[in-house]
Chains A and B, each alone.
Chain A
Amino acid sequence: MTKEPIDLWIERHEKDPEAELKEKTERFLRAAQLKVPDRVPVAGVGGDFLCRYTGITWYDMSYNLEKIPGAVLKFVHDFPSDWSIIFAPMLLEGFVFALAFADYPDFSNTIRFLCGPVHDILKDKWSQWPGREIKEDMHPQFRGGEFMKPEEYGKFIEDPVEFIHDTILPRACPGLGEPGSSRWNAAWIRVGMTMQKIGAFQTQLFGELIKRGNAAFPITNAYTPADVIGDFLRYPTGAMLDMRRTPRDFKAACDALVEHILKVATAVPPAPPATFFFIPLHLNEMLPPKLYGEFYWPQLKKIIEVLVSKGYKGFVFFEGDHSPHVDTILELPKGWGIAWFERPRDFVAVWEKLKGHTTVMGGVPVSLIASGTPKQIDEYIKNLMVKIKPEGGFVLSPGVNELPADTPVANVRAYINAALKYGAY
Chain B
Amino acid sequence: MLDELLRAVLDLSEGKALELTKKLVESGEDPLKILDCVRAAADEIGKKFEKGEYFVADLVMAGEILKGISEIVTPKLREAGKKRKAVGKLLIGTVEGDIHDIGKNIVITMAEASGFEVVDLGVDVPPEKFVEAIKQHNPDIVGLSGLLTLAIDSMKKTVDAIKAAGLRDKVKIIIGGGRVDEYVKEYTGADAWASDAATGIRIMIKLMEEKRGG
Question: Which positions in A face B, CB cutoff 8 Å?
Answer: 47-48, 128, 134, 138-139, 141, 143, 236-237, 240-241, 243-245, 283, 285-288, 291, 320, 324, 342-343, 365-368, 370-372, 399-400, 402-406
In the complex, the answer to whether B60 meets A404 with C-beta atoms within 8 Å is: no
User: Is B180 among interface residues, defined by CB-CB distance under 8 A?
Assistant: yes
In the complex, the answer to whether B57 meets A287 with C-beta atoms within 8 Å is: yes
In the complex, the answer to whether A405 meets B55 with C-beta atoms within 8 Å is: no
In the complex, the answer to whether B99 meets A141 with C-beta atoms within 8 Å is: yes
CA distance A283 to B102 in the complex (A): 12
In the complex, the answer to whether B183 meets A365 with C-beta atoms within 8 Å is: yes
Which of A240, A342, A367, A403 gathers most chain B CB within 10 Å? Answer: A367
CA distance A117 to B93 in the complex (A): 30
- In the complex, residue of chain A having the shortest beta-carbon distance to the beta carbon of B57: A240
A59 CB, min distance to chain B CBs, angstroms? 14
In the complex, the answer to whether B60 meets A48 with C-beta atoms within 8 Å is: no
Q: A139-B148, A143-B100, A400-B149 are in contact. Are A241 and B60 (CB under 8 A)?
A: yes
Total inter-chain residue pairs, C-beta < 8 Å: 96
Q: A143-B99, A367-B184 are in contact. Are A404 and B149 (CB under 8 A)?
A: yes
- In the complex, residue of chain B having the shortest beta-carbon distance to the beta carbon of A288: B55
A131 CB, min distance to chain B CBs, angstroms? 14
In the complex, the answer to whether B152 meets A371 with C-beta atoms within 8 Å is: yes
CA distance A403 to B180 in the complex (A): 13
In the complex, the answer to whether A370 meets B187 with C-beta atoms within 8 Å is: yes
In the complex, the answer to whether B14 meets A244 with C-beta atoms within 8 Å is: yes
In the complex, the answer to whether A403 meets B149 with C-beta atoms within 8 Å is: yes
In the complex, the answer to whether B124 meets A404 with C-beta atoms within 8 Å is: no
Interface string of B178-195 (1 = CB under 8 A from A): 111101101100000000
CA distance A370 to B149 in the complex (A): 9
In the complex, the answer to whether A371 meets B148 with C-beta atoms within 8 Å is: no
CA distance A292 to B91 in the complex (A): 34
Chain B residues with CB under 8 Å of A240's CB are 56-57, 60-61
User: Is B86 among interface residues, defined by CB-CB distance under 8 A?
Assistant: no
User: Is B28 among interface residues, defined by CB-CB distance under 8 A?
Assistant: no
- In the complex, residue of chain B having the shortest beta-carbon distance to the beta carbon of A47: B149
User: Is B50 among interface residues, defined by CB-CB distance under 8 A?
Assistant: no
In the complex, the answer to whether A371 meets B64 with C-beta atoms within 8 Å is: no
Chain A residues with CB under 8 Å of B122's CB are none
CA distance A141 to B95 in the complex (A): 14
- In the complex, residue of chain B having the shortest beta-carbon distance to the beta carbon of A401: B149
- In the complex, residue of chain B having the shortest beta-carbon distance to the beta carbon of A283: B57
CA distance A369 to B100 in the complex (A): 23
B61 CB, min distance to chain A CBs, angstroms? 6
- In the complex, residue of chain B having the shortest beta-carbon distance to the beta carbon of A51: B150
In the complex, the answer to whether B55 meets A287 with C-beta atoms within 8 Å is: yes
- In the complex, residue of chain A having the shortest beta-carbon distance to the beta carbon of B56: A286
B21 CB, min distance to chain A CBs, angstroms? 18
Interface set, chain B 103-155, CB cutoff 8 A to A: 105, 124, 148-150, 152-153
A310 CB, min distance to chain B CBs, angstroms? 32
User: Is B12 among interface residues, defined by CB-CB distance under 8 A?
Assistant: yes
Q: A244-B61, A320-B178 are in contact. Are A371 and B149 (CB under 8 A)?
A: no
In the complex, the answer to whether B56 meets A371 with C-beta atoms within 8 Å is: no
In the complex, the answer to whether A139 meets B102 with C-beta atoms within 8 Å is: no
User: Is B81 among interface residues, defined by CB-CB distance under 8 A?
Assistant: no
In the complex, the answer to whether B187 meets A141 with C-beta atoms within 8 Å is: no
User: Is B30 among interface residues, defined by CB-CB distance under 8 A?
Assistant: no
Chain A residues with CB under 8 Å of B14's CB are 244-245
Q: Can you list 21 A-B pairs with a CB-CB distance of less than 8 A? A: A48-B149, A48-B153, A134-B99, A139-B97, A141-B100, A143-B99, A143-B100, A237-B105, A243-B57, A283-B57, A320-B178, A324-B52, A343-B178, A365-B183, A371-B183, A400-B179, A403-B149, A404-B150, A404-B152, A404-B153, A405-B153
Chain B residues with CB under 8 Å of A406's CB are 152-153, 156
- In the complex, residue of chain A having the shortest beta-carbon distance to the beta carbon of B154: A404
CA distance A243 to B58 in the complex (A): 11
Chain B residues with CB under 8 Å of A288's CB are 54-55, 57-58
Interface string of B22-33 (1 = CB under 8 A from A): 000000000000
Which of B52, B54, B99, B179 gathers most chain A CB within 10 Å? Answer: B179
Q: A143-B100, A244-B12 are in contact. Are A405 and B150 (CB under 8 A)?
A: yes
- In the complex, residue of chain A having the shortest beta-carbon distance to the beta carbon of B123: A143
Q: A237-B60, A243-B57 are in contact. Are A128 and B99 (CB under 8 A)?
A: yes
In the complex, the answer to whether B148 meets A141 with C-beta atoms within 8 Å is: yes
Chain B residues with CB under 8 Å of A48's CB are 149-150, 153
User: Is B36 among interface residues, defined by CB-CB distance under 8 A?
Assistant: no
User: Is B44 among interface residues, defined by CB-CB distance under 8 A?
Assistant: no
Q: A245-B14, A287-B55 are in contact. Are A141 and B98 (CB under 8 A)?
A: yes
Interface set, chain B 5-57, CB cutoff 8 A to A: 12, 14, 52, 54-57
CA distance A243 to B183 in the complex (A): 36
In the complex, the answer to whether A367 meets B181 with C-beta atoms within 8 Å is: yes
Chain A residues with CB under 8 Å of B97's CB are 138-139
In the complex, the answer to whether B55 meets A370 with C-beta atoms within 8 Å is: no
CA distance A283 to B58 in the complex (A): 12
CA distance A245 to B65 in the complex (A): 12
